[in-house]
Structure 1
Amino acid sequence: MRFRAKVVSIDCIHHFTNVVNTISKLLKKCTLRLTLDKMYFILPDQVSNGGVSMWCELKQANFFDEYQMDGASKEHNEIYLEIVAENICRALKSAQNAKSLKIKLTKKQTPCLTFEVELPSIASNSRLVTHDIPVSVIPRRLWGEYEEQEMPDFHVSICMPPMKTLKNIAERLKNLSTYLTIAANQDGDMTMKVETELVSATTRFQHLEVPPVTSTDEETQSKDWPQNEFASARVDIRKFLQFLAGQQINPYKVICSKCFDGVAEL
C-alpha cells in the first residue's frame, strides 16, 4: 500500500486544518479511508449505545495539488487506517504558515502517517518539520463495518439558526436539565425545550428556512406527515454542546432532519 499527497495552497491547508479540528472535537479515534478521488473520516454507528456516528467526505481535488494512492489490491483499491484525530491536529499546528504540506504513509517501527511541513526561512534553504503519527491498518475483512449508514425515513427537515445562537441557549439550558428536546415542523418553526419536575423552559424560533425536497430526500422523507406537525428528538445537552463547540468550518447552513421516533440527523 502506498499513499502520498501534497498541498501548496495555504488556504487549502487552513481549510483542511479546520475540518480536522472540528472532527477532533467530536471524537478521539476515527477511521481514515483513502480512495483515488476522496478522503473520508468515519466514526462507525454508535447510536444504539447512545453515542454519535459521523461520516465526513472530502474530495481530494479540492485540497491537494498532488495525490497518489495504491490500495490493498487492484480489486479493492482503498486504504483504511485507524488514527487519533487529535494527533493530526497537533501536526497541522506547525503548518499554518507553511510553504507546502506533504502527507504520506510510511513504515517506521509501526505504520505511520507522516506529515512533512515545509516552512519559510530567512536563509535560502527552507526548514522542514516532520511528524510521524502511528496508525493501525484495518484489514480488508473489516471494511464492511465502515460503510456509510443508511439514514431512517425522516418526517421534518429544517435549516437551524446560527450555531452561536444555539450554543448560547444550550449553555443556559444545561443548568436546568441533562437532556434537551429539539422539535420542528415543515412550517419553519423550531423549539428547544428542557423539562423537569420543577421547571419547564422553551425557546422558540419562527420563519426558519425549510430546505427544498430533492430527489434523494423523496426516498427518505415521510410523505404523510402534516406540515404543521412537530417532530422531536431528545438529546444529551452535553453532547449537543460538544457538537456546537466543535464547529470550526463556519458552515453557511446546517440542516437538521428529525424522525418522529426521536432520531435526529445534523
Structure 2
Amino acid sequence: MRFRAKAVDFTCIEQFTKVVSIIAKMTQLCVLRLTETKLFFILNDKVAKGGIWCEMNASNFFDEYRMDGVGEDANEIYLEVTPDDIVRSMKTAHAAKSVKIKLTKKFSPCLTFEIELASKTGQSRNVVHDLPVNVIGRKLWNEYKEPSVPDFDVSIHMPPLKSVKTVVERMKNLGTYVEVSANHSGEMRLRIETEHVTVSTHFKDLEVAELDNGDSQTQRRDMSTMYGAKVDIRRLLLFLAGQQLHAQRIVCNIVDERVLHFYLIQEDVTMQFYMPIIHQ
C-alpha cells in the first residue's frame, strides 16, 4: 500500500485544516478512507456518538495525489485515525510553502506530515509529524459504507448557523436536551422543556426541499405538522460551533422522533452528520 499527497496552495491547506477541525470537534476517532480520487472521513457509530460522512475531492485540495491500495480489484486504503492529531500537525502549516502527507512504516504504520516552512533567511526548513494509524483489513470495509438515507418526514434549509448557535447557547443554561423540529411551511423550531420552564424559538420562511414522488396523499399533507427529534444540547453546540466552512447549503433532515441528519454542501466537500437521538 502506498499513499502520497502534496498541497502547495495556502487556501487548500487552510481548507483541509478546517474540515478536519470540524470532524475533530465531533469525534476522537474515525476512519480515513482513501480512493483514487477522493478522501473520506467516516464515523459510523450512530447510536453512541452519531454518524459522520465527509467526502472530499482530492484534486480540490492537493496538487499531487497518488494512492495504491491493496489490489487492482480493491484499490482503496482504510485507516483508523485521530482527527485531533491531524489538526495539531496542521497548526504548524500556517504560511507553509507545502504540506506532504505520506503513509509510512516507522515504529508502526503512520501518516507522516512533512511541512515545509520558509525562514527569514530565505532557506526552507521542514517539520515532520509521524501520526500512528491502524490499517483496517478488507473484511471490515463493509462497515464503512456510505450511510443509507431514509425517507425523511421533512427536509428544510437551515437558517444562518450563527443565529441558531446564539439561541442554543442561551438554551443550554436551562436544560440538557433540545428538540429540533420543522414543518412543510418552512418553519423550524428549537424548543427546550423542563419541569419549570418551556422555551422555544421559531425560524420562519425557510426553504423546504419537497420530494416529488407523485403521491397525492403527500401533496395533501398538513403543512403545519411539526416533525422533530430531541438531542443532547451539547452535541448540537459542538456541531454548530465547528462550522467554519461557510457551506453553500445546509439542510436539516428529520424523521419524527427517530433521525436528525444535517447535510452540508460546498463546492469541494460534502459532510453528513447524524445526531444521536434522545428517547424519553
Deviation digits for residues 193-222 of structure 1, max 9, x if unmatched?
111221111111111122464x8xx59xx9
Show the counterpart of 2:31.
31
Distance in 1, Cα, partners of 2:133 & 2:228: 39
Do 2:5 and 2:64's aligned partners in 1 also have CA atoms closer than 8 Å? yes
CA distance in 2 between counterparts of 1:135 and 1:103 reads 13
Deviations 1:230-253 (A, max 9, x none): 111111111111111121222233
Inter-partner Cα distance in structure 1 for 2:260 and 2:130: 37
Alignment partner, residue 150 of structure 2? 152
Q: Which amino acid is 2:205 matched to?
A: H
Which aligned pairs between 1:220-235 and structure 2 lie closer than 5 A?
Answer: 223=218, 225-235=221-231
Partners of 1:194 and 1:212 in 2: CA distance? 27
Is the 1:160–1:208 contact (alpha carbons within 8 Å) kept by the matching residues of 2? Answer: yes
Contact 1:35 1:78 in 2 (8 A): yes
Partner SS state of residue 173, structure 2: coil
Correspondence for 1:41:
41
Cα deviation for residue 91 of structure 1 reads: 0.7
Residue 265 of structure 1 corresponds to which residue in structure 2?
Answer: 261
Identity %: 49
Match of 1:140 in 2: 138
Indicate the SS of the match to 2:112: strand
**TM-score, normalised by the number of residues in structure 1:** 0.93
Task: Report the secondary structure of 1:148's partner residue.
Answer: coil
TM norm structure 2: 0.88
For 2:45, the aligned partner's letter is D
Alignment partners' CA distance in 1, 2:154 and 2:210? 11
Matched-pair contact (CA < 8 Å) for 1:30–1:43 = yes
* Residues 193 and 200, structure 1, Cα contact 8 Å, conserved in 2: yes
Q: How many residues align?
A: 259
**Cα shift readout 1:91-146 (whole Å, capped 9, x = no counterpart):** 10011101111000000010000001111123343111111100000011111111
Query: Are the counterparts in 1 of residues 191 and 198 from structure 2 also a CA contact under 8 Å?
Result: yes
Q: Secondary structure at the match of 2:185?
A: coil
1:239 maps to which residue?
A: 235
Could you tell me how far 1:45 is from its partner in structure 2? 3.1
Equivalent residue for 1:253?
A: 249
1:106 is paired with a residue whose SS is strand
Q: Is the 8 A contact 1:45 1:149 kept in 2?
A: no
Instruction: Supply the distance in 2 between the matched residues of 1:128 and 1:174 (Cα, whole angstroms).
Output: 44
Contact residue 98 and residue 119 of structure 1 kept, 8 A = yes
| In structure 1, distance between residues paired with 2:183 and 2:160 | 18
- Cross-structure match for 1:205: 203
- In the alignment, residue 16 of structure 2 is paired with which amino acid? F
160 and 203 in structure 1: CA distance in 2 versus 1, 3 angstrom threshold: same
Distance 1:83 1:92 in 2: 14
Output the aligned Cα RMSD: 1.7
Structure 2 unaligned residues grouped into runs of 5+? 263-280
Q: Could you tell me which of 127, 130, 136 is aligned with 1:129? A: 127
Task: Name the SS of the counterpart of 1:13 in structure 2.
Answer: helix
Residues in 2 aligned to 1:138 and 1:260: alpha-carbon distance in whole angstroms? 35
Query: Aligned residue for 1:117?
Result: 115
Q: Which runs of 4+ in 1 moved over 3 A?
A: 222-226
Find the aligned partners of 2:50 and 2:182 in 1 and give their Cα distance.
21
Give runs of aligned pairs for residues 44-193 of structure 1, distance below 5 A: 44-47=44-47, 49=48, 51-193=49-191
2:19 paired with 1:19: yes
Question: What's the CA shift for 1:174?
Answer: 1.5
In structure 2, distance between residues paired with 1:155 and 1:198: 30
Q: Secondary structure at the match of 2:238?
A: helix
Q: Is contact 2:155-2:210 (8 Å) kept?
A: no
SS in 1 for 2:129: strand
